[in-house]
A and B are shown apart, each in its own frame.
Chain A
Amino acid sequence: MSGETQARLEMAGITKRFPGVLANDDVSFAIKPGEIHALLGENGAGKSTLVKMIYGIMRPDAGEMFWNGAPLKASSPKAARRLGIGMVFQHFSLFEALTVLENIALGMDGGLSSRALEAKVREVLNAYELSLDPHRVVSTLSVGERQRIEIVRALLLNPKLLIMDEPTSVLTPQEVTQLFKTLRQLASEGCSILYISHKLNEIKELCDTATILRGGRVVDECDPKQETSKSMAEKMIGGDLKAVAKGTERTFGEVQLAVNNLSLGRGHAFGTALKDISFSVHGGEILGIAGVAGNGQNELLAALSGEQHAEADGVIELCGRPIGTSEPSTRRKAGLCAVPEERHGHAAVPDYSLADNGILTARHRRELVRAGLIKNSASHDFADEIIAEFGVMATGSKATAGSLSGGNLQKFIMGREILQTPEVLVISQPTWGVDAGAAAFIHQALVDMAAAGSAIVIISQDLDELLALSDTLSVINEGKLSAPMAVENASIEEIGLLMGGVHGEPSLATKPEASHAVQV
C-alpha cells in the first residue's frame, strides 16, 4: 500500500483480454476514502471493462484488486453490493410501467415491507435533498429523476464506493449541479466515488484525481484542476484535438425551410404534443434545437421527415413549396432529408447490408432504382463511396448495418444523407454514443455541408455540440419552441432555464419571472 491512508480500492496490473482485443493492459490506480476519482477515456478505451471487473460482472485475466487492503473477491454484482460497492449505470435498468418504489424494491434483496422501504427511501431523499415522488410511475419521470432512482437504489445500500458511469450525458445543466452537490456530500461523508466521463469541464469541476485511459492502458494520472480541458483531451485521444473549423464570415441565403404554427397531438401514451412551433432556416444556416429528451424532439423530427403529417400543406415549406402533408419519400425527392435519433431500426435496418440501407433513403436522389428494380452495382458503388469518403470502418458494402460500431454506423448514415446534397437536412442526436474522433468528423461534415449552401437543423441534448456548431439556437420544452437566439448571445444559464430547469425541483417555482422573461 502506498501513502499514509489505506486505499479504499486499489487496482494492480489489471489485464483483460477479449478475442482479438486487449481491453485492459496492466492498469493500476488507487482510490482513497472520500476521493472523487475520474476515469477518463474515449469509447473503447477500456473504462467499462475495468468497471465491470470491480463490480463483479467480469473477472480480470491477470492482476489483483484490493478492497481496503484485502484482496477483492466480488464474484457477482450481488457480492459487490454486499461489500459496499454501488453502481449507477449509464443506461438505467428501470421498469417503465412500475412506480419508483416498486423499481427500488426490485433492486433490493427483499425482506422489507413496502411501508418500511418507503420510510427508508424518504430518509435518503431528505438526507441528500433529492426530490422524487416514490409513487410516481417511471414513464412519467424526466431522465434526471430516473437517474435519482438509481442513485437512491445505490445509496440505500450504504456504499463505500459509488461508481457513476457517464452520469451527466442526459441531464440539464441544473440537474448536473444538483447531482454534483449530492456527490460532494457523499464524498464528504467518506464514500469514494469513481466517476466515468469524457466531459472534461465536469471532471475539472468535480474530481480530485483523474486516471486517463487510452487503448486499454493508463496513459496518465493527473490532478484535473491543474490541467486544461485541452491538455486532458489530447492525452485522451493521444494527439492534437482539432476544433471544428467554421468560417468566421458566414453568409446565409434564402429561407429553405419554414415551419408555420405547427401543432401536433401526442402520437402515443408517453408522447409529447407539439404546440404552435414556428421557425425558419436559411441556406447555409445551422439551427440547433436544445432540450431535455422527451420534450417533443422525436415528434418534431417525425413532423419534419413526414412520418407524421401536419394539419395543412402550408405548415411546412421547403424552399417555398408546401410539403406539410407529403410523404417522407416525396419530401426526400424535393430535397428534405431527415436522420432520426435511433440508429438501429429507424435510421438504418440492422440486418440489411450497407448497400440496401443506402437504397432505402437515397434511391431517388441517387437514382439507385429504375422502373421499380434495384440497380445492383450502382447501389454498391454508392455504399462504397460513403465508406471511402466518410472513413467508415466496414468490411465493404455487403456488411450488415448491425455489424458496425455505433460511431461507424452514424458516419455511414450521415454520409448517406450528405452525399444526396439535400437542400435541408434535419438530424437528431448526430453524435450520440459516438467517440470523440468520429464526433469531430461528423461535426466538420455538417459545417462543410452548411457552407455548401444547405440549411441544417440539429436536434441534440448535447449543449456543447450545439454551441460549437449552430448559428442560431432554440430550446424545445414540453412541445414548445423558444424564440431563436444567436449563439454568440446565448448563455448556459438562460438555455438551462428554457430547458425547464431541474424537473420537479421546487427551486424553479421561486423564479417564475426569470423563466418567463426569457421565454418571450
Chain B
Amino acid sequence: MSATLLIAMLITMIGASTPILLAALGELVVEKSGVLNLGIEGMMLTGAVVGFAVTYTTGNPWLGITIAALAGAAVSMIFAFLTLSLSANQVATGLALTIFGTGFSALFGSEYTGKPLELFKSIFPASLAEDPYLRLIFGHSPLVYFSFFMVFAVWWFLSRTRAGLILRAVGENDVSAHSIGYSVIGIRYGAVAFGGAMAGVGGACFPLLLTPQWVEGLTAGRGWIALALVVFAAWRPLRLLAGAYLFGLIATMELYTQAAGGVFRIIAPEMWASLPYLATIGVLVIISLGRSANANAPACLGKPFEAGH
C-alpha cells in the first residue's frame, strides 16, 4: 500500500469518525451528570437536516453548524423538560425523542431531497490542504479540528474544573449534591443542552463533511453507536477518541475493500457495511464480561431525582 493511499484512508477514517465522536462527547457529559439520553439519533437527524437547510439557503456552513447546534439543544430541551422537570422515564422519553427526530427531519427535509451541497472543506490554503502528504495535517474540515478541540475541552472541564467536579458529583450522588446545596436539576439541564448541541453538530457533519446531500435517515444509526461508545470508553474522553477512530476505521474498510477487490470480494459489501454495528455489539458484549466494566459508571445514571426526598 502506498503512503498516499494510506493517508487518503486515514483522512476518510477521521472524517467518518467525527460525527460519532462529537455526539458521544456530548452524551458523555450528559451521562456524567446522571442522565441517560437515548435520543442521540433523533437529535443528530435534527442537526443534520437543519445544518443542511441553513447551509443550502445561506451558503454559509459556519452558520449552518451553529444553527444545527442550537436545533439539537432545542430538541434536547423537550427531553430535559419531560425527564427532569416532570420526572418522566428517561429510557422511554429518549426513545420517543429519537422517533420524533426521525419524523421531524424526514418531514422538514423532504423539500431538500436531491439538492446538491458543497462540502465544508479545509480552510487552509490549497498548497497545504491538497498536498498529498501535508493534507494529513491540513486537509481536514474545520469540524474535525473542532472535534479534537472538544475532546481536550471535555477532558479538561470534567477533570480540572470546579464546575466539572460539581457535574460529576451530581451524577454520582444526587441526594448528597442537593443537600450540600447544588442545583441538581439545573446542572442536568445544562448537561443535556450541551449533549443536544453536540449531537446537533455531529448530525450536521453528515451533509457537510461526508455526503453533501440530504436523504431520509441520513445518520444511519450512528447515534446508537455513539451511545455504545460512551460505555466502551468507560466515560473517559480520551478513550472515546480511540474508540471513535476504531469504529471509523471499520466503517472505512467498507469503501476500501471494495476498491481493493481480490480476496475482499469474497465478503459481500452489505456484510462490510454492517461491520460497524456488529463490532458495536461485539465490543459491548466483551466489555460487559469484564469485571470492572461499570466501575466508572456514574452511580445515578438514569435515575430520576426529585428534590425534597
Within 8 A of A (CB), among B266-309: 291-292, 294-296, 298-299
Within 8 A of B (CB), among A242-287: 268-270
Question: Beyond A77-B181, A78-B181, is A95–B169 a contact (Cβ under 8 Å)?
Answer: yes
B151 to chain A, nearest CB (A): 21
Query: Chain A residues with Cβ under 8 A from B294's Cβ?
Result: 269
Query: Chain A residues with Cβ under 8 A from B291's Cβ?
Result: 268-269
A107, B180: Cβ atoms closer than 8 Å: yes
Tally inter-chain residue pairs, CB-CB below 8 A.
47
| B211, CB-defined interface residue at 8 Å | no
A96, B179: Cβ atoms closer than 8 Å: no
Query: Chain B residues with Cβ under 8 A from A268's Cβ?
Result: 291
| A110, CB-defined interface residue at 8 Å | yes
| A106, CB-defined interface residue at 8 Å | yes
Question: Beyond A106-B169, A269-B292, is A94–B162 a contact (Cβ under 8 Å)?
Answer: no
B162, A105: Cβ atoms closer than 8 Å: yes
| B165, CB-defined interface residue at 8 Å | yes
Write the chain A residue with the least CB distance to B165: A102
B168, A98: Cβ atoms closer than 8 Å: yes
Task: Produce 1/0 per residue, A93-113, CB < 8 A to B.
Answer: 111111000100111001000
Cα A131 to Cα B126 in complex, Å, equals 62
Query: Chain A residues with Cβ under 8 A from B182's Cβ?
Result: 106
A94 to chain B, nearest CB (A): 7
A97, B299: Cβ atoms closer than 8 Å: yes
Query: Chain B residues with Cβ under 8 A from A96's Cβ?
Result: 172-173, 299
Cα A253 to Cα B298 in complex, Å, equals 50
Cα A42 to Cα B65 in complex, Å, equals 63
Query: Chain A residues with Cβ under 8 A from B175's Cβ?
Result: 93
Task: Produce 1/0 per residue, B226-270, CB < 8 A to A.
Answer: 000000000000000000000000000000000000000000000
Write the chain A residue with the least CB distance to B298: A97
| B91, CB-defined interface residue at 8 Å | no
Query: Chain A residues with Cβ under 8 A from B179's Cβ?
Result: 77, 93
B33 to chain A, nearest CB (A): 13
Write the chain A residue with the least CB distance to B172: A95
B165, A106: Cβ atoms closer than 8 Å: yes
A106, B180: Cβ atoms closer than 8 Å: yes
A158 to chain B, nearest CB (A): 19
Task: Produce 1/0 per residue, A216-231, CB < 8 A to B.
Answer: 0000000000000000
Task: Produce 1/0 per residue, A105-147, CB < 8 A to B.
Answer: 1110010000000000000000000000000000000000000
Query: Chain B residues with Cβ under 8 A from A105's Cβ?
Result: 162, 165
Within 8 A of A (CB), among B155-172: 162, 165-166, 168-169, 172
| B60, CB-defined interface residue at 8 Å | no
13 contacts between A and B (CB under 8 A): A77-B181, A93-B173, A95-B173, A95-B176, A97-B296, A97-B298, A105-B162, A106-B165, A106-B180, A268-B291, A269-B291, A269-B292, A270-B295
Q: A residues near B, CB below 8 A? A: 76-78, 93-98, 102, 105-107, 110, 268-270
